[in-house]
Structure 1
Amino acid sequence: MKIVVVSDSHGRNDILNAIREKHPDAGLFIHCGDLEADPMFYPGYIVVRGNNDYYGRFEDERIIPIGKHRIYVTHSHRFSYFSRSEQLSNRAKALNCDIVCFGHTHVAYLDQVDGITLLNPGSLSHARDGRPCSYAILDIDENEIRVEFKFEPEW
């Protein structure tokens, strides 16, 4: 299944519509927080609360089952900067998840910690590592997890 993962749009929600139009074949769209809008206006996205989300109803974390995989979605602002990866991995294991999608850092990131795939798609509005703004395509099937980052120099 092709899953589009985004985060930290910070009010640049016109980009969310453009991404949906660009990927009509995606089976799922995930927003890892800091939407800064009411999620009811983006019904095609599964959204979690970020530290800048005050409008509408949000859940702090979500679990999405996809086949034999379980995706844990969080913004990650409540996890320590110094051990974020380990804490996210531990939380995912406690929830029987094998994939974590998270935001907050505004840096595209992919790693595997203790058998858990950690994916931060970066930021749609303010990248913090010198690269362009980004999002990710997560493609999963029963036996494989693939990730491709999409860097967009201009929206």
Structure 2
Amino acid sequence: MSKILIVSDSHGMTKELEILRDRHMKDVDLMIHCGDSQLMPDDQAISGFVTVLGNCDFGGYPLEVIEVVTGRKIFVTHGHKYSVKSSLMNLKYKAQEVNADIVCFGHSHILGAEVIGGTLFLNPGSLRLPRERFEKTYVILDLADEKIKMTVFELNGRELVDLGYEFTLPKK
């Protein structure tokens, strides 16, 4: 079993990213930032995170990243190049192209997760400017065989128990 911490759209926050890293680094196997950190890649606050380039970022980050954890292919992008604010269709086509099991993205600042065509699409919301809810959120995924458990946390570390989900995704 592996655990993945996923954040997005922190827009210049440093202390908060350091707190998240310190809070979870011992119990997660991977930390992902889905872009719009607005930090330089060598900033200490973002160290330890696999990070992609958001529309508010500058230099040094890749536009997309693929990570493999526990046999699951995870595609990470910010989402602005795929028009995720209007539809997940373009991102779905990209997920099919790269044979992704899980797609992590941000950009809309809206917390959400859904399985489309056997792929989990996950937006952890925003640490700074959430939309459609008040809580500043991040997510931890537990990967175990065909079960994926998603736990949503507020920035202060409180679990949002009504938003936890468990997905069954056969490995591709």
CA gap 1:98/1:48 in 2 versus in 1, 3 angstroms: same
Q: Write the mapping of 1:3-152 to structure 2, written as runs, cut at 5 A.
A: 3-23=4-24, 24-41=26-43, 42-54=46-58, 56-80=59-83, 81-83=85-87, 85-152=88-155
1:99 & 1:12 partners in 2: Cα distance?
26
SS in 1 for 2:21: helix
Shift of 1:130: 2.7
Q: TM-score, normalised by structure 1?
A: 0.92
Q: For the Cα contact (< 8 Å) 2:70–2:143, is it kept in 1?
A: no
Q: Unmatched 5+ residue regions in structure 2?
A: 158-172
Shift of 1:48: 0.1
1:40 & 1:142 partners in 2: Cα distance?
35
1:43 & 1:15 partners in 2: Cα distance?
13
Q: For the Cα contact (< 8 Å) 2:33–2:51, is it kept in 1?
A: yes
2:42 & 2:50 partners in 1: Cα distance?
10
What do residues 70-121 of structure 1 show as CA deviations (whole Å, max 9, x unaligned)?
Answer: 00000001122322x2222221110011100000011111111111101100
SS in 1 for 2:82: coil
State the 4+ residue runs in structure 1 displaced beyond 6 angstroms. Answer: none
2:48 & 2:155 partners in 1: Cα distance?
21
Q: For the Cα contact (< 8 Å) 1:86–1:113, is it kept in 2?
A: no
Q: For the Cα contact (< 8 Å) 1:4–1:136, is it kept in 2?
A: yes
SS in 2 for 1:78: helix
SS in 1 for 2:18: helix
Q: Unmatched 5+ residue regions in structure 1?
A: none
Shift of 1:153: 6.5
What do residues 17-51 of structure 1 show as CA deviations (whole Å, max 9, x unaligned)?
Answer: 10011112111100000010112222200000000
Shift of 1:128: 1.2
Q: TM-score, normalised by structure 2?
A: 0.83
SS in 2 for 1:15: helix
2:149 & 2:111 partners in 1: Cα distance?
15
1:64 & 1:74 partners in 2: Cα distance?
11
Shift of 1:138: 1.1
1:78 & 1:10 partners in 2: Cα distance?
18
Shift of 1:131: 2.4
2:118 & 2:90 partners in 1: Cα distance?
13
